[in-house]
Structure 1
Amino acid sequence: MEPRLSLVTLGVSHLDRAIEFYRDGLGLPLETRDPDSDVAFFTLGATKLSLYPRELLAEDVTVSPDGEGFSGITLAHNVRSAQAVDAQLEEAIEAGATLVKPGQEVFWGGYSGYFADPDGHLWEVAWNPFFDID
């Protein structure tokens, strides 16, 4: 396998609400939203974020859509400072996210916090002084 992550797809319960959260609330650039399809794509640098109805995603994977609890996956957004962590968490909350863990110093030497999007997908916002985001 080539070392690359091309697409992250989130199964969402209300596609239009999810698009509004990511586009209008967090300001991510919507690349494609065909009104005749059930998918939306956002460009995140070399990676794309895809939103797709949870039931249809589960059908495609051939699993039940009734998962609950911690899925074992988080998404991360690294920022340039500890102050930027708090600002990004606040932006997400104002857009409709739920604060899961406020920004705080963490054991690995950085500063991070977590929010859940309207469908419960967990996002870490982190400043890592050892990680170059340029």
Structure 2
Amino acid sequence: MIQTVNSVPSRYHTVTPYLLINGASDAIAFYIRVFGAEEITRLTAPDGRIGHAEIRVGTSTIMIADEHPEMDFLGPKSRGGTTVSLLIYVDHADHVFREALDAGATELRPLCDQFYGDRSGSVTDPWGHVWSIATHLEDISPAELRQRFEELYAD
């Protein structure tokens, strides 16, 4: 009998972020505190570095590992910055934003109501990863989205 396996495992989405961090254990504690993450798995190498960990934030899985320079697996701080931002939807963006700052994140973009129907702002966590923290406030049609966008650039 041939057994079939889904190409995407059941607890993952098609795209799953994998964060490389110098200090993965501390980062996991930060994500638990700030985002209410749940630690699912942690595989620690004999040298104490996390080779692979998984946390769950809401319905999403995020994979995490310590930096492994010998494999060129380096986090944003070691590479001089990141070009990726993670967006997290929460029930109370103001509360989570404050919690992130209190836990050591730095404000990148202040929280405000956005033209696309979200209240959001961005922080950089202590390991150099950028997080946009948002609460969805209103559903808008594609036509309304386009109109609001164009109004931003009017004048």
CA distance in 1, matches of 2:90, 2:35: 14
In structure 1, what residue type is equivalent to 2:72? E
1:40 lines up with 2:49 in the alignment: no
1:45 deviates by 4.5
Which of 1 and 2 has greater Rg? Answer: 2
Q: Which runs of 5+ in 1 are unaligned?
A: none
Which structure ranks higher in relative contact order (CA pairs < 8 Å, sequence separation ≥ 6)? Answer: 1
Residues 87-106 of structure 1 correspond to what in structure 2 (within 5 A)?
87-106=95-114
Normalising by structure 1, what TM-score? 0.73
SS in 1 for 2:54: strand
CA distance in 2, matches of 1:45, 1:25: 13
CA distance in 1, matches of 2:69, 2:16: 17
CA distance in 2, matches of 1:25, 1:57: 31
RMSD between aligned alpha carbons?
2.9
Q: Which runs of 5+ in 2 are unaligned?
A: 1-6, 141-155
1:67 lines up with 2:75 in the alignment: no
* Among 126, 129, 132, the residue aligned to 1:121: 129
In structure 1, what residue type is equivalent to 2:21? V
1:12 lines up with 2:21 in the alignment: yes
Match for residue 94 of structure 2? 86
SS in 2 for 1:38: strand
Cα deviations by residue, 1:44-100 (Å, 9 ceiling, x for unpaired)? 344311111233596369xxx9522341x21111134xxx11111011112221121
Normalising by structure 2, what TM-score? 0.65
